[in-house]
Amino acid sequence: MPPSYILRRFELRDLPRVISINRRCLPENYSESFFISHHENFPEIFLVAEKDGEVVGYVMCRVEIDFSQFSLIPFSSPKKGHIISIAVLPEHQRKGIGRALIEKALENMVKIYNAKRCYLEVRVSNYPAINLYKKTGFEVQRIIRGYYADGENAYIMSKDLQ
């Protein structure tokens, strides 16, 4: 059966809804300008899932220079994608939307921004998200102690895109 939702680029009119999903689903909240700057700079990897005309989830990413592979010729330095935030409204979870958002964002990171790797941070207690990332090919690389404002540790997870 085809999915009952569509994936599309975030548009400015989605901002209030995306901010409300972010606040409902995550303790890490951002200013309007943070969302807008990601949309302006990386429009193809800030995506929303829409069901029956309503946005029910989003993924917001960016692309960075991979300084661990830094070359003196800046344009030849590999780029890496960074998943900044993803959330799906509770009543729409476990229907494949999170996975579809990640897979489309990863595809665009490679095709449009030429990223060679992708990484993200996740709370060590966030089993749903850790499972989702493992299912989409990410592996735990290391732990950052006290990464979050409340002192919780983060896993850095990454995936080779080549």
Ligand X SMILES: CC(C)(COP(=O)(O)OP(=O)(O)OC[C@H]1O[C@@H](n2cnc3c(N)ncnc32)[C@H](O)[C@@H]1OP(=O)(O)O)[C@@H](O)C(=O)NCCC(=O)NCCS
Binding mask 90-109 for ligand X (x = CB under 6 A): ---xxxxxxx----------
Measured distance CA(141)–CA(84) in Å, rounded:
17
- Give the chain's length: 162
Using alpha carbons, select from 81, 86, 87 the residue that is nearest to residue 158.
Answer: 81
Residue 86, interface with ligand X (CB under 6 A)? yes
Measured distance CA(54)–CA(147) in Å, rounded:
33
Residue 84, interface with ligand X (CB under 6 A)? no
Smallest gap, in angstroms, from Cβ of residue 99 to ligand X? 3
Q: Contacts with ligand X in 115-134 (CB under 6 A)? A: 122, 126-129, 131-132
Question: At residue 73, what is the residue type?
Answer: I
Residue 3, interface with ligand X (CB under 6 A)? no
Q: What is the DSSP letter of 15?
A: H
Residue 48, interface with ligand X (CB under 6 A)? no
Residue 36, interface with ligand X (CB under 6 A)? no
Residue 52, by phi and psi: left (phi above 0), alpha (psi -120 to 50) or beta? left
| Contacting positions for ligand X (CB under 6 A) | 25-26, 86-88, 93-99, 122, 126-129, 131-132, 135
